[in-house]
Every structure is written in structure tokens, then in C-alpha cells.
């Protein structure tokens, strides 16, 4: 028998030692996911510390969209709304058009003109046959999508088209549309691209 048992003393325990343990992989993955979600939330809701922002707005674009507009800014904002409702489906809200469906309006020689009579004829009377846009032929039949719009609404749409996506043409007024509409008569027939090119701007 050992001396410890002889004396009745309890056996001594081994001194605990610290060892290195690997961090569980699921903790690392969870932390990365939480960091990512936090970054996404910050990106969408912080406004990047812009002093003009306040709740519930999360970006300057969203804030500006709710601000009252007047003058040219109001016409463009109204034109954008009407364009996206009537024209955006085919021409795209970005104005780049859709292959086999509708030609682009961004950078189009039909849009960037000094006058706007030809451009106004398209939504007022429609177009049939082939039209050349930026050197490419488009065979299409477009109904008179703007015939049912008010003069002010159609003017706002054309103003928006002529001033967006890099286009820099002049604005169109409701009186201008009214004059063109009167010249075209009550039941204008769709025209071809060649017929419209023979018209004065």
C-alpha cells in the first residue's frame, strides 16, 4: 500500500491544463451569414449617412420621388409615369427597346430631332411596315397607343422620351400636340417609316 492509503489521505488529482480546441465550423458560417445580412440591411436602409434622409426613406432617390415637383421637373415626372404605363412594356422602361418587338428610343434619330411632328404621328396614328432606327430595319405594326391620351399626357410622354436616356431634344407642349392632332384629322391611318420621313419635322 502506498503512503497515501496508509495515512487515509485522499489521492491527489492531476492539475488541469488548457488545450487548444478548434472553433466549430457552424459558428464561423453563422457569423459570416449574420455579417452579410447586416451589410445588406445597412446598404438598403442607411442612406449612407446622407443628412437629407430620414425615416421611413432609405435612399435619396426614394425621398426625391415623393417631393413636390413643378415646371419642367413635374412634366418629366408625369411623362415617366405615363410612359411606363403605355410604352414601357414594349420599348422598355430604360428606352433600349426589345429585339423583335420595338426599336430603341434612347439615342434614336426619330427622337433627337429639332421638330417633333414625325415623332408625334407615331403614337397618334400608329405605324405599319418597316422603320429604320439606328441603321437597323424594324418590321412592325404599332397601334395608335397615344390617340386616347390627353394632349397634356402625350406631350409629357414625348417630353420625357426626348429628355431621357441621353436624349437631349426640346420639350413638347400640349398646344403642340393639339395642333398636330387637328392636322391629322379624326381617323388618321397608320403610316410607314418612308411616308413619315417625307413629312416635315
3-state helix, strand, coil in the chain (%, to 5): 45, 10, 45
Q: pLDDT tens across 81-94, in order?
A: 888 888 888 898 99
Mean pLDDT of 69-91: 83
In this prediction, residue 31 carries a pLDDT of 93
Taking 60 as the threshold, does the pLDDT of residue 40 lie above it?
yes
Q: pLDDT tens across 133-190, in order?
A: 888 888 878 888 888 889 999 999 999 999 989 889 888 889 999 998 888 887 777 8
* Cell (9 digits) for 39: 451589410
The highest-level CATH class for domain 68-197 is mainly alpha
Domain boundaries, the chain: 25-62, 68-197
Which residue from 18, 2, 22, 21 is spatially nearest to 10, judged by alpha carbons? 2
In this prediction, residue 32 carries a pLDDT of 93
Q: Where are the beta strands (DSSP E) in the chain?
A: 127-133, 136-142
Which residue from 169, 153, 38, 5 is spatially nearest to 84, judged by alpha carbons? 153
- How far is the C-alpha of 93 from the C-alpha of 70, rounded, in Å? 23
In this prediction, residue 97 carries a pLDDT of 87
Amino acid at each position: 500500500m502506498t503512503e497515501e492509503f496508509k495515512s487515509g489521505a485522499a489521492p491527489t488529482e492531476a492539475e488541469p491544463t488548457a488545450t487548444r480546441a478548434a472553433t466549430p465550423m457552424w459558428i464561423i458560417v453563422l457569423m459570416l451569414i449574420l455579417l452579410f445580412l447586416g451589410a445588406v440591411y445597412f446598404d438598403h436602409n442607411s442612406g449612407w449617412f446622407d443628412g437629407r434622409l430620414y425615416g421611413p426613406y432609405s435612399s435619396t432617390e426614394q425621398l426625391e420621388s415623393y417631393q413636390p415637383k413643378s415646371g419642367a421637373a413635374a412634366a418629366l415626372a408625369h411623362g415617366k409615369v405615363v410612359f411606363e404605363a403605355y410604352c414601357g412594356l414594349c420599348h422598355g422602361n430604360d428606352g433600349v427597346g426589345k429585339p423583335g418587338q420595338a426599336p430603341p428610343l434612347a439615342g434614336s434619330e426619330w427622337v433627337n430631332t429639332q421638330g417633333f411632328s414625325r415623332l408625334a404621328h407615331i403614337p397618334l396614328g400608329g405605324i405599319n411596315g418597316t422603320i429604320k432606327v439606328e441603321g437597323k430595319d424594324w418590321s412592325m405594326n404599332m397601334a395608335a397607343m397615344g390617340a386616347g391620351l390627353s394632349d397634356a399626357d402625350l406631350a409629357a410622354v414625348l417630353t420625357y422620351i426626348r429628355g431621357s436616356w441621353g436624349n437631349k431634344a426640346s420639350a413638347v407642349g400640349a398646344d403642340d400636340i393639339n395642333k398636330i392632332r387637328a392636322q391629322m384629322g379624326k381617323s388618321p391611318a397608320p403610316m410607314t417609316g418612308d411616308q413619315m420621313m417625307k413629312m416635315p419635322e
